Structure 1
Amino acid sequence: MASQFAVTGLTKTYGSNVVVDQLDLEIEQGEFLVLLGPSGCGKTTTLRCLAGLETPQGGSISFGGRQVFDASTKTDVPAHKRNIGMVFQSYALWPHMTVRDNIRYPLKVRKLKQAIADGAVEKAAEMVDCGALLDRYPSQLSGGQQQRVAVARGLVAQPDLVLFDEPLSNLDARLRDQVRSQIHQLHQSLGFTAVFVTHDQAEAFALADRIAIMKSGKIEQYDAPEHVFENPVSEYVAAFIGMGNRLELRRGHDGWITSANDIIDLSNAVVRDQADEGNAAVARFRPDDVQMHASMDDVPAGNVALHAELVTYEYAGRHFDVLVKTGTEQLSLRAGAAEHSATLRASAPGTPMVISFSPSSLRVYAHPDGARVTVPELVAPGVGDRS
């Protein structure tokens, strides 16, 4: 079955700077796709090309089989004829219009008089808990209220595609979680098709049916959130989704050796040729995967143990965020406050300690190019390795 929305070979440049580079995307009807990546990776430009706010230099875009852009035939349907809804980072509400008039605007420009008469504006406002705000102006609303109004405006005309351009980044942490949850609930109940741009991995995992992680105008990985989380296809993806701990490894006679000369036994099961050529690899893993111990005797059976020393720690309620050094590298871990508070508070920087982690928490990549190295026994059960 053909995808409802398709992007093929999309290319956007500004002078000699290639911002979107031969990008392909397929979005199914009712799917919530998240474009995830750092600033400058091309995700917002891709969104603006979908909206018709930017004109690409190459490629094509189709909505439901209808070409809205094709560089080869010079087709370029203007934004107001693409039947999209858009929710901006800056809310972009008309300051001289009431909430009612802001939400009604997409219906008015589409000349959907019957929808207005049938109470579509009021229904949209109620969906986002803004029914009591219809006669207020944007200046009389909080940031969270303004963004909920913007979401209602984006959905009120039941567009073919709803585009979200980092809509939560201007909100404080509490409001960000509330509005994110509300968007998720609306998608579950209404089933609209959406493309959501963010640099926040937590937002991406919470909202997405699929995630497209972008790097330098290209898609590095395009997959379900669970597969991205368990099997990042490159070191770039692993680092971006929270595998902040990085160990450089060199091959020795008894296994892989760290910069602290500790041995990590992966049973020489690295099967990619590029790992064997350089005899070097990089292991990535999350702070949550690391445990802290007073001595080697406390390390659980089967765990990899490393000698380390304390750098610093920060209290975070039920846990401490701890930074340790092993060899030339610094690693982060989370230590339970109930178990480790007394030890940490009595420890000065430089105090020796032992850390450990399960080999299954590691994702191993070739060094220096960062491609995924397949280690069969490290693949999570029930999760396909998409590398």
Structure 2
Amino acid sequence: MTSKFTVSGLTKTYGANIVVDQLDLTIEEGEFLVLLGPSGCGKTTTLRCLAGLETPQGGSIAFKDRPVFDAATRANVPAHKRNIGMVFQSYALWPHMTVRDNIRYPLKVRKMKEAVGEGAVEAAADMVDCGALLDRYPAQLSGGQQQRVAVARGLVARPDLVLFDEPLSNLDARLRDQVRSQIHQLHQRLGFTAVFVTHDQAEAFALGDRLAIMKSGKIEQYDEPERVFENPVSDYVAAFIGMSNRLSLRRDHDGWATAAGDSIDLTHAVIRDSADEHTTAVARLRPDDVLLHATADEVPLGNVVLHAGLVTYEYGGRYFDVTVETGGEQLILRAPAAQHSAALRGSAPGAPLVVSFSPAALRVFAAPDGAPVTAPEPVAVGAGGHA
């Protein structure tokens, strides 16, 4: 049976402020779990509790069935005895040590002299393409090089659990993509167990075997990336994973309509409660799912048509990011530059536009609490991982 890392009823408070609220997690050995959420949602505090850097007020934590914290029995294994690797946002390299000594430090603390003699430091440095930097000091390295050294240090002792605290947020976009890809490749090759904290949905989808989207110290959704992407369980999750367009819907005698009065066909949806209980709803969709048209005649058959006004547009090379307004609500869409450049550059704010989207792109939630109103078709997730 596969060993697991379990968190049960974890609670952490600062005074009257509940930061982690009765949180439960199960992490399979070899799994890459991503804690995703905005600042203040409790994700970093959860990570620090796993590391032993914070002491919770309630709950328990076990690594491979070995308790490392239990509020009921007052068990609390100190951080240096939990056999973890830690990769921090700020690199946290010792400035007076060479790269070699920084990577070797976890082996020294654990008194793993044999691993040092067998070339573990050099092997870890080579894993992250830093083998030629072993005799340099951190001040002589770029940000990307420093973070790769930090990753090597976190992995060199083959810890039970590797914890990443927003390790890419201090890097520029190009380096962020490179280091992210390197971490993903290392996980595929070494199969270490990891918990990765981020507020970036692209990082979460690229790296995670499972995602835990957090809100106010609780987990809003805990699932595989594909299922989170296709079937967000709440308006909060939908907004956070990229469904930034929000439309208010109201029920009338003919069905559902937007705030602007445009009809929307939701007959594909399953309404959980009786029609009398839901007269308003919230629809979410992604910018990529909204199409711009020169005229209503270009709208694909079956699409919902919205009559809107231009707010602004921004050139992005092969596309324009276009903001439109309909019924007092703004939508963002991406329009191919080759097709729409002339029309957009000749339009002033307020110019009438026609946009559309497929009803299948919508995820609809009850207003105002965001509880699901529709039950989208489940997505088949293959056993071979994800992109």
Q: Please, what TM-score do these two structures have when normalized by structure 2?
A: 0.97
Counterpart for residue 266 of structure 1: 266
Counterpart for residue 385 of structure 2: none
Q: Could you say what secondary structure the match of 1:183 adopts? A: helix
Amino acid at match of 1:180: R
- Once the two structures are TM-superposed, the CA of residue 266 in structure 1 deviates from its matched residue by 1.0
* Separation in 2, partners of 1:97, 1:128: 18
Q: Could you say what secondary structure the match of 1:174 adopts? A: helix
Counterpart for residue 112 of structure 1: 112
* Separation in 2, partners of 1:276, 1:221: 28
Counterpart for residue 200 of structure 1: 200
Residue pair 1:275, 1:367 contacting (<8 A) in 2 also: no
Q: 1:309 to 1:80 in 2, by over 3 A?
A: same
1:355 paired to 2:355? yes
> Paired residue for 1:379, among 377, 380, 387?
377
Q: Could you say what secondary structure the match of 2:314 adopts? A: strand
* Separation in 1, partners of 2:283, 2:69: 42
Structure 2 unaligned segments of length 5 or more: list them.
383-387
* Separation in 2, partners of 1:373, 1:241: 19
User: Deviations along 1:250-304, whole A, 9 cap, x unmatched?
Assistant: 0012221111111101128442227641311000000000001122111100111
* Separation in 2, partners of 1:381, 1:115: 45
Q: 1:209 to 1:275 in 2, by over 3 A?
A: farther
Following superposition, which runs of at least 4 residues in structure 1 exceed 4 angstroms of deviation?
A: none
- Once the two structures are TM-superposed, the CA of residue 379 in structure 1 deviates from its matched residue by 2.5
Amino acid at match of 2:129: D
Counterpart for residue 321 of structure 2: 321
Q: Could you say what secondary structure the match of 1:273 adopts? A: coil
Q: 1:95 to 1:13 in 2, by over 3 A?
A: same
Q: Please, what TM-score do these two structures have when normalized by structure 1?
A: 0.97
Residue pair 2:85, 2:163 contacting (<8 A) in 1 also: yes
Identity %: 80
Counterpart for residue 47 of structure 1: 47
- Once the two structures are TM-superposed, the CA of residue 383 in structure 1 deviates from its matched residue by 6.5
Residue pair 2:230, 2:379 contacting (<8 A) in 1 also: no
- Once the two structures are TM-superposed, the CA of residue 132 in structure 1 deviates from its matched residue by 0.5
* Separation in 1, partners of 2:308, 2:208: 38
Counterpart for residue 234 of structure 1: 234
Counterpart for residue 68 of structure 1: 68
Structure 1 unaligned segments of length 5 or more: list them.
none
Q: Could you say what secondary structure the match of 2:72 adopts? A: coil
User: Deviations along 1:347-379, whole A, 9 cap, x unmatched?
Assistant: 11111111000111000000001011125xx52
* Separation in 2, partners of 1:5, 1:319: 45
Equivalent pairs counted in the alignment come to 382
* Separation in 1, partners of 2:5, 2:201: 24
1:185 paired to 2:189? no
* Separation in 1, partners of 2:261, 2:374: 23
Counterpart for residue 366 of structure 1: 366
Q: 1:189 to 1:275 in 2, by over 3 A?
A: farther
* Separation in 1, partners of 2:76, 2:275: 46
Residue pair 1:299, 1:305 contacting (<8 A) in 2 also: yes
* Separation in 2, partners of 1:260, 1:380: 31
Q: 1:286 to 1:275 in 2, by over 3 A?
A: farther
